[in-house]
Structure 1
């Protein structure tokens, strides 16, 4: 690998080999963080390290630092092959050999322990012959990693396993030639407490089998936990039919597409990359990207996203983003980094696991010494010390949090909830208030003019032409609605000079040497002073009915008022009801007037409304709620929502939102159906419940098992089985999150973001 400097802005992803427990992950993390300019997070479940660099650091230096700690590392390329299946197969081969030798060994050991009269000359050597391949080749991964850790003066779970296997085997060889080899267990209960006459060969083989099985199922579970992310990464097209300038078609790999190229999408084809439809119309299935079951109709001028599927019709699409810049690639990286991130609760578990191994070694030594000082036979003391070594596996503790978070982020991606960091899940669990933006969030954001009232002596066409000319330079939803009406009625739209956007209030400009102002009544009153009584009366009536009123002033005189309506999303009322059923307080935040805001709030079931808030004040409104002791989630989509999203405890941005909104949020909601909001909250709660259950088991298991082992109440073989089963329990409990379901999506809406007047 060349000694390339990693760009400070782009985190380096490393695959870490040789980690066997959370203590290993904590050790690698500490080593990396000792380098200047490095902030590293190591995840035991994913076996990845995410290294953020505040200064250029050679990638080879990072790898050398990891190797100096006794582990392997390599940089992860974007096209790296998944290693999970290879690891599972390698573990499976060792497990098969261990079972073929270990099962007869266990049967023979139990039989000879219960019925000593069946012992034959040289029976010990038969047991030893069956044991050797298990405790050498099959257990070699544990021995190799234990030796590597010992060379670097560090502890790991493999040291406990390797010491247990070696000690059991060595003690058995010693006792084979002594009188203690003739001892036998006192019935089945004696066998459970102490195996065949202090012959621990079956214990050594059994522990190897249990740990290998646990590692194999753990590797399979990790692979399964990342299946949602892999499926997301693989939905993209592999090749594409491009359209040349002369109309000829040519099939090329997607990697060769460039911005500005045109490509063809036929029925059943996967859209190759992000672009804009030039010609054609069809329904697009976006379920693989967003989880929405209903197709979306697109036509010329509409944006399409790579990874979606055309259901009918032929499209010609002009490429806008390729490769790593596409929405699909960005979302995959988003989930990968979220899975590599570390929650606060996991950091606590890592700190405990880091000191766990030396504590266990000390406890095993104390157990051995305590039994010997108490006058117990050497066999009993060794048995108890072995049980302590074997049962004290910190794997369950290390897997408790990251496996649940890994599964949750993958399942969330399938449902259209993209988690930018695991802190978002912890925040989502704690929220008690949900603030929802109105325009573009609770409503579709697509405004339409429902009425136009002109003052006496002013023609409708004159007002419409002037207002549309000014609004033609605006991207605001209200402006687009006025321009669309002008095109329908007048055929053309003029251009304004000296255009000026007044954030959250309106726009102004000069049209045919006339000064034109279009905006809220509040703006007009500030700039002009008064609104004619007739127009003001009509404006009040419209706002009472839930419409947005916009006034038009020409040369300092208010001469018309527009009424506009924004359609409430069909899913809004159901989503609000579900949020309230979850015990959450709901608040609507909008820059619209009080009457319109109240009408929309009543329609969707929200009682609390904060209206007529300028974009700059939205974050202040969030801050006031937090000052009251509320834990606040903000749901928005527009540029003006960015500060509020960033200021909330949890920011949720609809995918229709702008880059500013998406960049400021914690969760990206890919659905236009608002049921995704309560679904995200329920997923977070389910994940945190799973993590708490995992940690209770992991801590409780060690708290209960270690004293039992030290007291001589656990056979080392039983201890090995319990250790393996504890890890399997944690992993299988986390995998239940794969079955998390979102409420059925009943509608699909087209939405567009807009700021508010």
Structure 2
């Protein structure tokens, strides 16, 4: 038998014959591979294999020669339960070249990663369509049309449900009215007769099944015939069994045992109506789960005022190119990312950063597309447009996180794979047990119990439990300035036991400031600062810039400037000889700094860097320069500590400065004087000591530590979100975002556990009840109609519970105002 697949794949990293040998060897040892030939010139491999491609991709990556991959998203119609999800995922993963496939029931979409050149989005869509679920690749602009598509779906479901209810109501009144009200039963018997009543119920129920209920049979019967039944199959089986029994009881009662010729048309009709109603409520609720991402998409205006052909013109946003000049009037949204050329204004960036305070903008400042301009007018030069804007990157990250599968979903997938077949088996067993052991008349009791088991089982709730919570949680997080770049970070973060921070630029401002000037006896503070700033203005060192920024007014001219690496600087100013640097530098020049050294000792203990200043060979002053702690740092760390987390700091700064900062911020563990690559070892040490570690850095020189931590959290700037090594990106420099990220993770995972607990608990408890386990103890058999109502409400409960995450508010400690109290509107 030949291989099921034959693909030509692109292989990265090959540059010699030995590489070819290694790649061929790796491929031939991969699971399912029957033949492999590698071509160095084209950097490709011809691979024949059985089964899925994921194992081959993993083997190549492990060997150091990864395959080039692409990713696409597919829109899938007709999914309504976890069984559908499993079936589509299996079909995709078994198709040519697919490395990974994640199907999301809540969004009705699939995210597929595949080896470049092995397949195409249209081929993948065809694979899904062949399983019975029409699919097509999602185009870039399609997401913006999702609102109208969802509205059309809700409108169609509303119409169908109303028609179904109109048909079911007479059936219900005729049958249940006769059971509940003896006078009504007598009136029916006298006027139209019992047989005529049953015939009317038959006609209305038949129309209901052929019309509004047709969807259950059109999808359920083919899935049964394929040997892969889904939720529609359960409904089709249950209602068909009750319908066929009722038809026989109506037109050929002699075929049934004496006393068992009862009709259940009203149960069939009510089941269909209630399940359609449940799907309508579920669709309305699911429509609100994507509100956050639709809100992000709506931020970018459709047109912009751009300078073209010597005049300002309104042009479509799609026509804007990098380098174009645009004008933004007061109250308008910024159309694209850009740099301010002219004008001043305050811009509300809360929709991107979660920060409510407008940010001042002046020439050379950056503005972000989608933010709201205040009362000033701005002229900008476009720097990033289209898919390269911050807003587009944010939307992509949110979509990726919403389409991800958490590790917790693996258990759900394993159970739902067997769920529907097991339910069918339980229903058959229920019928047999009632026929053998049930009291007379056993046949109708067996039918009621079997149908109830089929109808009450709810794989929908299982399939929706995780993705709806992820969608709402990550969407709300994005509104609060917290981007979960990787879906599993949502689960991993709440497992962290210690949070490690980079120091410079994360806990501190990252920009040294002059904190004190201590003049020696006989020297004036202002004069000292003026001369020191003049000399330091010639230096590029960050500490020199701190001194220069602190001096007011015009600085005198400097001559004979000289930098002494690692020690200090010297120069002449206004005819005076100036030295600035360490006490050692001045001592080697014959200047005694002992008295000044004592004066700045407490500054050094607090983490400041002391500088000494001499005029004409005399110690004139000491300067203390420090990197100020960010205003929100202490409050943010207190929040994390209140959540039971240990705090650590990993920095390349000297031990004395690091220890002083740790004492001030009450940090438990300090690792100082490490190079960027040494931070990985520090992370490993923390993992050994505490377990799961989250690392927070500014994303510039912290890439190794961000990658080494169980969860990497990068501090963004509002304009820099593409930090590839981070799992989570904070859109503002506010460290309060770290505490918000932990809280969002914790609440979302709690919500997921609630949903899963309900979905599984519901089935574990109610399927035995539907089977009649309470009947021998004086209980009643569960009506199939009540079973349908309970099943419909189960899915609605799960989605509604997930929607509670939209109300998450991120509050600062000490009762300060919430950072963002805007609620999402659907």
What TM-score range do you get, normalising by the shorter chain? Answer: 0.7 to 0.9
**Residue 139 (str. 1) matches residue 213 (str. 2):** yes
- In 2, Cα distance between equivalents of 1:133 and 1:494: 99
**Residue 385 (str. 1) matches residue 445 (str. 2):** no
**Residue 425 (str. 1) matches residue 490 (str. 2):** yes
SS at match of 1:628: helix
Q: Which moved more, 1:488-497 or 1:690-699?
A: 488-497
Could you list the per-position Cα deviations for residues 263-315 of structure 1 after superposition, in whole angstroms to 9, with x for gaps in the alignment? Answer: 11221111111111122211111122222211111211211111111112121
Shift of 1:352: 0.9
Shift of 1:328: 0.3
In the alignment, what sits opposite 1:210?
274
- In 2, Cα distance between equivalents of 1:285 and 1:748: 16
Match of 1:593 among 654, 659, 675: 654
**Residue 471 (str. 1) matches residue 532 (str. 2):** no
Could you list the per-position Cα deviations for residues 729-754 of structure 1 after superposition, in whole angstroms to 9, with x for gaps in the alignment? Answer: 111111111111110595999xxxxx
**Residue 78 (str. 1) matches residue 143 (str. 2):** no
Match of 1:571 among 632, 635, 649: 632
Could you list the per-position Cα deviations for residues 408-455 of structure 1 after superposition, in whole angstroms to 9, with x for gaps in the alignment? Answer: 111111111111122111112111212222322222333333468999
Pair 1:638–1:340, CA change in 2 (3 A) = closer
Match of 2:262 among 198, 202, 212: 198
Shift of 1:103: 2.4
Q: Which moved more, 1:172-181 or 1:298-307?
A: 172-181
**Residue 704 (str. 1) matches residue 759 (str. 2):** no
**Residue 412 (str. 1) matches residue 477 (str. 2):** yes
In the alignment, what sits opposite 1:219?
283
- In 2, Cα distance between equivalents of 1:357 and 1:674: 47
Give the conservation status (yes or no) of the 8 Å contact 1:266–1:310: yes
In the alignment, what sits opposite 1:157?
231
Give the conservation status (yes or no) of the 8 Å contact 1:274–1:321: yes
Could you list the per-position Cα deviations for residues 352-395 of structure 1 after superposition, in whole angstroms to 9, with x for gaps in the alignment? Answer: 11111111112222222222233653222222211111111211
Structure 2 unmatched ranges of 5 or more: 1-8, 11-66, 521-527, 573-578, 776-780, 820-826
Could you list the per-position Cα deviations for residues 632-679 of structure 1 after superposition, in whole angstroms to 9, with x for gaps in the alignment? Answer: 122221412222122112222222289698222111112333322212
SS at match of 1:624: helix
- In 2, Cα distance between equivalents of 1:227 and 1:478: 47
- In 2, Cα distance between equivalents of 1:251 and 1:511: 56
Match of 2:123 among 46, 61, 78: 61
- In 1, Cα distance between equivalents of 2:270 and 2:729: 47
**Residue 306 (str. 1) matches residue 369 (str. 2):** yes
- In 2, Cα distance between equivalents of 1:181 and 1:99: 32
- In 2, Cα distance between equivalents of 1:272 and 1:495: 50
Shift of 1:244: 5.2
Match of 2:735 among 665, 674, 691: 674
Pair 1:708–1:507, CA change in 2 (3 A) = farther
Pair 1:529–1:307, CA change in 2 (3 A) = farther
Shift of 1:55: 2.5
In the alignment, what sits opposite 2:36?
none
In the alignment, what sits opposite 2:321?
258
Give the conservation status (yes or no) of the 8 Å contact 2:517–2:624: yes
Shift of 1:608: 3.8
Pair 1:549–1:261, CA change in 2 (3 A) = farther
Pair 1:381–1:510, CA change in 2 (3 A) = farther
- In 2, Cα distance between equivalents of 1:454 and 1:206: 90
SS at match of 2:627: strand
Could you list the per-position Cα deviations for residues 237-273 of structure 1 after superposition, in whole angstroms to 9, with x for gaps in the alignment? Answer: 2211123585x32221121111111211221111111
Match of 1:440 among 494, 505, 523: 505
Pair 1:123–1:656, CA change in 2 (3 A) = same
In the alignment, what sits opposite 1:742?
810
**Residue 23 (str. 1) matches residue 86 (str. 2):** no
- In 1, Cα distance between equivalents of 2:339 and 2:558: 24
- In 2, Cα distance between equivalents of 1:550 and 1:658: 35
Give the conservation status (yes or no) of the 8 Å contact 1:639–1:657: no
Could you list the per-position Cα deviations for residues 688-745 of structure 1 after superposition, in whole angstroms to 9, with x for gaps in the alignment? Answer: 1111111111111111122222226322112111111111111111111111111059
SS at match of 1:586: strand
Give the conservation status (yes or no) of the 8 Å contact 2:249–2:256: no
Shift of 1:625: 0.6
Could you list the per-position Cα deviations for residues 597-623 of structure 1 after superposition, in whole angstroms to 9, with x for gaps in the alignment? Answer: 344444444354333333222222221
In the alignment, what sits opposite 2:353?
290
SS at match of 2:701: helix
In the alignment, what sits opposite 1:372?
435
Match of 1:33 among 93, 115, 121: 93
Shift of 1:333: 0.7
Match of 1:648 among 709, 733, 738: 709
In the alignment, what sits opposite 2:168?
102
In the alignment, what sits opposite 1:395?
460
Give the conservation status (yes or no) of the 8 Å contact 2:271–2:789: yes
Structure 1 unmatched ranges of 5 or more: 186-195, 501-505, 513-517, 750-757
Match of 2:157 among 67, 88, 91: 91
Q: How many pairs were matched up?
A: 711
Could you list the per-position Cα deviations for residues 464-501 of structure 1 after superposition, in whole angstroms to 9, with x for gaps in the alignment? Answer: 678655627xxxx557546757997658999999999x
In the alignment, what sits opposite 2:794?
726
Give the conservation status (yes or no) of the 8 Å contact 1:431–1:631: yes
Which structure has more relative contact order (CA 8 Å, sep 6+)? It is 1
In the alignment, what sits opposite 2:295?
231
Instruction: Report matched runs for 1:614-693 at 5 Å.
Output: 614-656=675-717, 662-693=723-754
In the alignment, what sits opposite 2:198?
124
Using structure 2 for the length normalisation, give the TM-score: 0.78
Pair 1:661–1:136, CA change in 2 (3 A) = closer
Give the conservation status (yes or no) of the 8 Å contact 1:638–1:658: no
- In 2, Cα distance between equivalents of 1:180 and 1:112: 23
Give the conservation status (yes or no) of the 8 Å contact 2:567–2:582: no
- In 2, Cα distance between equivalents of 1:397 and 1:171: 31
Pair 1:511–1:373, CA change in 2 (3 A) = farther
Match of 1:346 among 391, 406, 409: 409
Pair 1:261–1:482, CA change in 2 (3 A) = farther
Pair 1:654–1:478, CA change in 2 (3 A) = farther
Q: Which moved more, 1:369-378 or 1:565-574?
A: 369-378
- In 2, Cα distance between equivalents of 1:496 and 1:54: 60
- In 1, Cα distance between equivalents of 2:132 and 2:85: 12
Give the conservation status (yes or no) of the 8 Å contact 2:532–2:547: no
SS at match of 2:313: strand
